[in-house]
Amino acid sequence: MKKCLNILSLSLICLTVAVACTRGPELHLFRASEIEMTPTMDLDIDTYWDYQFEIDGDETYDWRKEWYYGWDNTDLNLFGPIGYTKPESFNIRRYHKHNTWDSHTTVYKDNGWSGKHFRATYDFGFWDILIWNENTAPVQGLIIDENTNPDAVTGYTNQVVLTTRSAGRIVYQPEELFSGYMTNIEITPEYKGFERKILEGESTPVWYRKTDIMLRPYTYIYLTQLILKHNNGKIAGVDGSARLSGLARSVCLNTGISSSDDISVGYDVRLKNACDMEGESVDIVGGRLLCFGMCNLNPNMVDTKSPLVKNLVRASDHSRHYIDLQMQFNNGIDSTFVFDVTDQLRERYKGGVLTIIIDMDTVAVPSRGNGSAFDAVVLDYQDGGTHEFEM
């Protein structure tokens, strides 16, 4: 499949008037000849997850080879598409500065841009331009904060009421977030870097300049699957939710770097019976998670082919990563399972498949001791675990 990280082309133009006065350059967003701008943006996870793993030698990561859960119409209706979807509209912020080091004190806001062309007037000086997709979800988890610090626009989600001893603070999933940022675009009275041109549909020549800006994902997709071998009905169901811990609470739209405070993100899961795993029939608890990724990292700036990539990711990430979920045994007892997926997540630092495999022949059905309906099965937490799963 062809990689479709779309490029939004910014064109700065300036109209000159015949009476010794000059209008500042204007901005156009339009489709470059080699880019399809309808829809505005597309992103293919087949090419975005371009990791290089040493599996039988150097091999490019192919998530489909290790994804056994699948994605049927029920998953589509419950959880939505498995990959990224095309944004319908965008928000644009233009920051005017007199010097390259100035803060963003003068800002021009344009919300809900959804066309191929965007026009605006520009004064001489320096300009920073920030673009992100507008969130149109009916119920929104993602919050954009551009008031606390205009130099660092932040995306984050709120904490849910529920907390667990294994997951700690839990926040809502964000919606898909894509952003692009350009800095210090200089416009001089001599129109350095501009050309004189009559744009389509116009009769007056303008000063014209073309600059490319790429929007990248700042929320990352993780596909999780808990594979139950030899289950034979021992696990009868799940409560429909899971949590992944050690993830960033927020992300800076200007830099793409995630925050240092770690939280857990809750997401939905579903149990499927009799799935095929290389000819073996297994039961799988699967789900799709959106998050800001690991702390202190912009995954888009990491070179997937660099031999130092593992050291870089490990140096940025100071948290362990656990998936916890509640499952019900066939005797009606609910148990919480917790799994360490730190190594997998660090390898798949901008999304991918996280796989856990349990041989259910090794897991005893818990008894209802002292009338309790809850018997935790956890990974040796400080307050005491009853079973350890090493993935």
Q: 3-class SS at 299?
A: helix
The kind and range of the H/E element at 343 are helix 342-347
In tens digits, what is the pLDDT along the chain, a chain of 391 residues?
444 444 444 444 443 322 223 344 444 433 222 212 222 455 788 888 888 765 444 577 889 999 999 999 999 999 999 999 888 888 989 899 999 999 998 898 988 887 666 666 777 889 898 989 988 777 778 999 999 998 999 999 988 866 655 556 888 999 999 998 889 988 888 777 777 777 677 777 777 777 777 889 999 999 999 999 999 999 999 999 999 999 999 999 999 999 999 999 999 999 999 999 999 999 999 999 999 999 999 998 887 777 667 777 877 888 889 999 989 999 898 888 889 999 999 999 999 999 999 999 988 888 765 434 444 444 433 333 334 454 4
Q: How many CB atoms lie within 10 A of CB 373?
A: 8
Q: Are strands 178-187 and 125-133 parallel, antiparallel or unpaired?
A: antiparallel
Per-residue pLDDT, 120: 67
Helix or strand (DSSP H, E) at 342: helix 342-347
> For strand 220-229 and strand 352-359, is the pairing parallel, antiparallel, or unpaired?
parallel
Strands 170-171 and 106-113: unpaired
Backbone angles phi, psi at 138, to 5 degrees: -60, -45
User: What pLDDT is recorded for position 164?
Assistant: 57
Cα–Cα distance, 136 to 112 (Å, whole number): 10
Q: How far is CA 336 from CA 9, 241, 379, in A?
A: 50, 11, 10
Q: What pLDDT does 246 receive?
A: 93
* Domain coordinates in residue numbering, the chain: 55-83+149-174+218-391
pLDDT of residue 374: 42
Instruction: Please report the pLDDT score of residue 378 as a whole number.
Output: 44
Q: Would you state the pLDDT for residue 285? A: 97
One-letter-per-residue 3-state SS of 24-71: EEEEEEECCCCCCCCCCCECCHHHHCCCEEECCCEEECCHHHHCCCCC
Cβ neighbourhood burial of 200 (10 Å; 0-12, 13-18, 19+): exposed
- pLDDT, residue 220, reads 96
pTM over 0.85: no
